[in-house]
Amino acid sequence: MDHVITGVSKFQKDVYPGKKAAFQKLASGQNPEVLFITCSDSRIDPNLVTQTEPGELFICRNAGNIVPPHSNQTGGMTASIEFAVAALGVKHIVLCGHTDCGAMKGALDPDSLEGLPHVKEWLGHCRSATEVLREKHGELGCQHLEALTQENVLQQLQHLKTHPAVAAKLATGQVQLHGWVYDIGTGKMLCFSDQSNGFEAMESVYKEGKLRT
């Protein structure tokens, strides 16, 4: 904890002064272009990976980068998605999974979660992903972790489409969805391509770092 406290002090003394104007502008409002949904895993830093500054990403994090399907029961993810899309007007939603995901390991082996009842219930939102893989491969094991990580991203994107604010903006072309998987060990980002119907290296999906048109 000491290094965290020291870090705050360093930020106030060394970092903030150089970005004072930007922070003072942000103090009165935000206008992010991207809603970035990813895992709570401590190894994932959305701003570091995307090299973005405060105010550029509206970030939602939870175990397994899960988006529960829309329902009349309000939850933190539902409210955050609605606010980002309907109030802030984000233009892009990134759903980003990652390698070596503990939540995906739990989804593959539900028996390992017996002492974690809330985690087990939460990962029920990954069931469609596990069922897709089970239909393709039969019995699932640790060798299917990468495939589940990717399939889970796709299934959570489907869940996103059930949220009214997202559905409305998709219907009018005001928001775009992106499915990514971050490789912690290599720093590479795989992105889902509608053209190939699979995950590819980012540079092949986005030409020169830009969206394909």
111 labelled binding-site residue: no
Residue 138 sits in a domain whose CATH number is: 3.40.1050.10
How many residues comprise the chain?
213
Give me the number of domains the chain comprises. Answer: 2
Reported as type and span, the H/E element at residue 158 is helix 145-160
Tell me how far apart the alpha carbons of residues 111 and 36 are, in angstroms, rounded to a whole number: 31
Output the pTM of the full model: 0.94
Q: 48 with 104, same domain? A: yes
Q: 177 with 148, same domain? A: yes
Q: 15 with 97, same domain? A: no
41 labelled binding-site residue: yes
Q: 128 with 76, same domain? A: yes
Q: Which of 67, 68, 3 is nearest to 35 (CA)?
A: 67
163 labelled binding-site residue: no
Per-residue pLDDT of the chain (213 residues; tens, 9 = 90+): 999 999 999 999 999 999 999 999 999 999 999 999 999 999 999 999 999 999 999 999 999 999 999 998 899 999 999 999 999 999 999 999 999 999 999 999 999 999 999 999 999 999 999 999 999 998 888 999 999 999 999 999 999 999 999 999 999 999 999 999 999 999 999 999 999 999 999 999 997 556 654
Q: 47 with 84, same domain? A: yes
Q: 14 with 62, same domain? A: no
101 labelled binding-site residue: yes
User: Tokens representing 109?
Assistant: 């082996």
Q: 81 with 166, same domain? A: yes
Q: 85 with 95, same domain? A: yes
Q: 56 with 70, same domain? A: yes
Q: 18 with 39, same domain? A: no
Residue type, 127: R
Structural domain of 115:
31-209
The residue assigned the tokens 């593959």 is 108
CB 35 within 8 A of CB 60: yes
Q: 6 with 104, same domain? A: no
